[in-house]
Structure 1
Amino acid sequence: MSSPQLPAHPPANLPTTVGALRASGHEYRSVKEEVRANLLDRMRGGENRFPGVVGFDETVLPDLERALLAGHDLVLLGERGQGKTRLIRTIVGLLDEWTPVIDGAELNEHPYEPITPASRRRAAELGDALPVAWVHRSERYAEKLATPDTSVGDLIGDVDPIKVAEGRTLGDPETIHFGLVPRTHRGIFAVNELPDLAERIQVSLLNVLEERDVQVRGYVLRLPLDVLLIASANPEDYTNRGRIITPLKDRFGAEIRTHYPLDVDLEVDLVRQEAQLVAEVPDHLLEVIARFTRNLRGASAIDQRSGVSARFSVAASETVAAAALRRAAVTGEDAAVARPVDLEAVPPVLRGKLEFESGEEGREEELLTHLLRRAIAETARKRLAGVDLGPLADAVAEGRKVVTGERVPARDVVATLPAVAVVRTVAERLGAGDSEAPGPLASAVELALEHLYLTRKLAKDRDDSGEDSDGQVTYGG
């Protein structure tokens, strides 16, 4: 998900000094109180609290809402590609759109609650004239991908040699260059893949979570940070390869399990939302891709500890759309519409996104092709249930061969279709009944023909012999 757009300027009527801020009736709230109040307002108003999150309404989101209402720091636990980072980023929308900070301060300090020595000194000197600036909620979020080379300085801070060179002494707290966590004061800080963070670095977060302060190189510097800390982790890493140290795990108030979409329709919805499709991909092909992904998640040959990311479905749909666009460019079709023949482009290019169990070397593409064909058959069986495809099979078997392929335009496919009533029925079942263009009709009937082939009611021949054939496929008797 892209970050929210930052408005050019805050509203002109907002107070610009702490005196004016008090006169306006503004009250200080901690970040967790702010999130709780805004979440409750959205719940009471029936609004969408986590826009763009698909498939978690009855499972993950209730747990997440309870954790936020309780004011807990939390860990999202799930395999790759389950939308953990997207979910974390939507929580930013529960912050106030604009919040006041001390103008010119290094951290986002609330004018009522200065925490650094410099801001406290300015607040004491200027009183009600202390200048106030306004920060948009999109600037109150930071995230860090945990890597083994992440340092305490990255997260918490370190001595700034430039400030020391300017004449300050090493004992001066103002020589500290703050890290990501203090700079997210009054905001939300996310650590992705927390178990990958070295254990000695995880220790640096203990005080942040419990005492709400930080220590830098032994400085006696208490910074009462106001931060909502959210981490993500993979279950395998959480317990085996890497781990969250026990004292840190104990300081998180909630652990919430995420999951892949629970049914095919949700998987299709997710693909529709996330994929950047360069050509039209009919719903029945998106369903094939969704079922293919779900078949992979149940395959014993795939390492399920690693998971099969939702990004696989997205990338597969984008690959299918690109195959259709390529054909349109090569053949001069007016509109690029994906067909079942385009699904063949998926296994060769996307097998690298999967982790296979040992012993499957050399069989990867064969396995993917088998599971893809099963997904095609399942989709056709569901979408064409009750449709008698016998007349279509008979017409094709008796000599009305249908030719398709990655270089065969839809108009040529349609031209070879037999004149049987079931062709129109298939088109209507698969959403192509109202279209005058050849692309949707060709896509629909190809699915029926592939189903007849997979159920051994038709033969299928592939011609890879010459440059002009380019994978031409013929359905016949």
Structure 2
Amino acid sequence: MTAPTIATVGALRASGHVQRSIKEELRENLLGYLRDGKDAWPGILGFENTVIPQLERALLAEHDVVLLGERGQGKTRLLRTLVGLLDEWTPVITGSELGEHPYDPITPASIRRAGELGDDLPITWRHRSDRYSEKLATPDTSVADLVGDVDPVKVAEGRSLGDPETIHFGLVPRTHRGIVAINELPDLAERIQVSLLNVMEERDIQIRGYTIRLPLDVLLVASANPEDYTNRGRIITPLKDRFGAEIRTHYPLLLDDEIAVIEQEATLTATVPGHLLEILARFTRLLRESASVDQRSGVSARFAVAAAETVGAAAVHRAAVLGEADPVARPVDVGTIVDVLRGKVEFESGEEGRETEILTHLLRRATADTARERLGGIDMSSIVNAVEQGEPVVTGDRITAKALLDELPDLPVLDEIAERLGAKSDGERASAAELALEGLYLARRIAKDTGDDGQTVYS
């Protein structure tokens, strides 16, 4: 994070520094990552063989890019990762409003200073994190916000309206030599989108009644929802034509990627074993395949993340009430997500009133699939016999892990289940045993009753 010490343009030239445009900089740095076999996209999961190669080709072709995809597919995260491809530090003219390169001043004030000071023109260094600007395209966004407008204060100081120095620059020119990201681009009013046409093609800006010729050097990237892209809002045809690449994003294609996203993004306040994260990942994927869910809206990855955090919070709640030292989530906690997160899923109009029923059914399918996948090959008939011949097993959000383990019969198969699931502590062993019991119930080998007091009885 230490900036270079070069302080004048003369010293910069003597150092051999070479000026590059923003797109050349991204292109050459990306090529360096590819040659060295380094990961240029940290934190981006599930796009390795689909979206990432397309985006890399677009950057190598020096194209502006728009990402199309449903909500919660990581579009914004991917755009922000582009910052890592910039040089860590870049020189700018000290005090310049647009962060101009010392070799190439573009505003009248900077051109005048460069001519007066020559090699003594002072420079400072800007970190790459300051070269990325992001704008959410809200309906109230104006041309002044993006491009600029006449500054009445500067006019009041005595300058004429035709003087370029009366301009207050907007977001795009202020990100000169950087990356401008516009989220939800179709939400921009069409007349506002028109203001970007010259920025993307001619690389200049037009304000009010006169043109200011500023050779802007920016990479324009944007995100859009395909449904908005075609119906509610749209990208106007001339602007769409100026994007060199349109790339479709998607939800994770593999279950392991879905789980990895949850592990990476969720802030868990308790231990949530891997088999529970798998249930949540399978549940999310089943929702995305269900005909009862509006797939045009999609089921965001944030749904699965929020579900994992809710399950962890349920374990913390139980631990606080019952005095458990180390909260560990169990399958009984998974049911808490249905009511809490129902509003995060858009259902088809014909399913009104059946939302809870649909969610509960799909959650049971996800649990059964996980139990079958994780515990397949283990003979659990001894558990079935023990439950049939002995006392029922009682669990619930008011039963501690130790109390649940004390109720279970002493069977070698329980140790095998715990070993299969990597369960070591009492909480993890209780969670593993509960998954086995729930799997047996869903396979219709034992019965299950849930009372109003929150207790679940397997018998």
Name the counterpart of 1:242. 233
Show the 5 A alignment for 1:76-91. 76-91=67-82
Q: 1:324 touches 1:342 (CA, 8 Å); kept in 2?
A: yes
Question: What are the within-5 Å matches in structure 2 for residues 142-221 of structure 1?
Answer: 142-221=133-212
Q: Secondary structure at the match of 1:220?
A: strand
Residue number among 13, 32, 52 corresponding to 1:22 in the alignment: 13
CA shift for structure 1 position 294 = 0.1
Match of 2:434 among 440, 446, 465: 446
Indicate if the aligned counterparts of 1:196 and 1:242 stay in contact, CA closer than 8 A.
Answer: yes
Residues 107-146 of structure 1: pairs in structure 2 closer than 5 A = 107-146=98-137
Tell me the secondary structure at the aligned position of residue 419 of structure 1: coil
Deviation of the 1:219 alpha carbon? 2.2
Report the alpha carbon displacement of residue 220 of structure 1 after superposing the two structures with TM: 2.6
Q: Whole-Å Cα distance in 1 between the matches of residues 70 and 29 of structure 2? A: 29
Deviation at 1:362?
1.2
Mapped partners of 1:88, 1:234: distance in 2: 15
- Tell me if structure 2 keeps the 8 A contact 1:18–1:128: yes
What does the per-residue CA deviation read over 1:265-292, in whole Å, with 9 as the maximum and x for residues that have no partner? 1100010000000000000000000000
Offset at 1:94?
Answer: 0.2
The equivalences for 1:171-320 within 5 A come to 171-320=162-311
The structural deviation recorded for 1:397 is 1.8
Aligned residues of 2:147 and 2:205 also touching (Cα < 8 A) = yes
SS of the counterpart of 1:294? helix
Counterparts of residues 269-418 of structure 1 (less than 5 Å): 269-418=260-409
Equivalence map 1:27-46=2 (5 Å): 27-46=18-37
Deviations 1:46-70 (A, max 9, x none): 1111100000001110001000001
Task: Using the TM superposition, give the Cα deviation of residue 399 of structure 1 relative to its aligned residue in structure 2, in angstroms.
Answer: 2.1
* TM-score, structure 1 as length reference: 0.95
Q: Deviation of residue 166 (structure 1)?
A: 1.8
SS state at 2:195 partner: helix
Aligned-partner residue type, residue 43 of structure 1: L
Alignment root-mean-square deviation, CA: 0.8
Residues 206-255 of structure 1, C-alpha deviations (whole Å, 9 max, x = no match): 00110001011122311110000001011111111111000000000001
Partner of 1:68: 59
Any idea what the Cα deviations from partners look like across 1:360-389, whole Å, max 9, x if unmatched? 111111110110000000000111111111
Q: Give the Å deviation of 1:167.
A: 1.9
Instruction: Tell me if 1:96 matches 2:83.
Output: no
In the alignment, the residues of structure 1 paired with residue 161 and residue 296 of structure 2 have an alpha-carbon distance, to the nearest angstrom, of 48
List 4+ stretches of structure 1 deviating above 2 A: none
1:10 Cα deviation (Å)?
Answer: 1.7
CA contact (8 A) 1:400 1:417 kept: no
Q: Distance in 2 between matches of 1:408 and 1:142?
A: 51
Aligned partner of 1:4 in structure 2 is none
Structure 2 equivalent of residue 473 of structure 1: 456
Q: Helix, strand or coil: the match of 2:221?
A: strand
Count of aligned positions? 459
CA distance in 2, matches of 1:141, 1:59: 25
Task: Return the letter of the residue paired with 2:121.
Answer: L
Which residue identity is paired with 2:108?
A: P
> What letter matches 2:458 in structure 1?
Y
Please list the CA deviations of residues 143-189 of structure 1 after superposition, one character each: whole Å capped at 9, or x if unmatched. 10111111000000011111112222212111111000001100000
Code of the residue aligned with 2:272 in structure 1: it is: V
Q: Percent identity, please.
A: 70
Mean CA deviation greater in 149-158 or 390-399 = 390-399
Amino acid at match of 1:15: I
Stretch deviating more after TM superposition (120-129 or 167-176): 167-176
TM-score in terms of structure 2 length: 0.99
Q: Which amino acid aligns with 2:42?
A: P
Measure how far apart 1:438 and its partner are.
1.0
Q: Which amino acid aligns with 1:440?
A: E
Mapped partners of 1:164, 1:394: distance in 2: 89
Partners of 1:151 and 1:354 lie apart in 2 by 32
For 1:446, give the aligned amino acid: E
CA distance in 1, matches of 2:150, 2:398: 63
SS in 2 for 1:232: strand
Q: CA deviation at 1:440?
A: 0.3
Counterparts of 1:235 and 1:220, CA distance in 2? 34
AA partner of residue 10 (structure 1): A
Q: Is the 8 A contact 2:205 2:211 kept in 1?
A: no
- The one-letter code of the counterpart of 1:39 is L
- Alpha carbons 1:460, 1:473 under 8 Å: kept: yes
Asked whether the equivalents of residues 94 and 123 of structure 2 are also in contact (C-alpha less than 8 Å), the reply is: yes
Look up the equivalent residue of 1:216 and give its one-letter code.
I
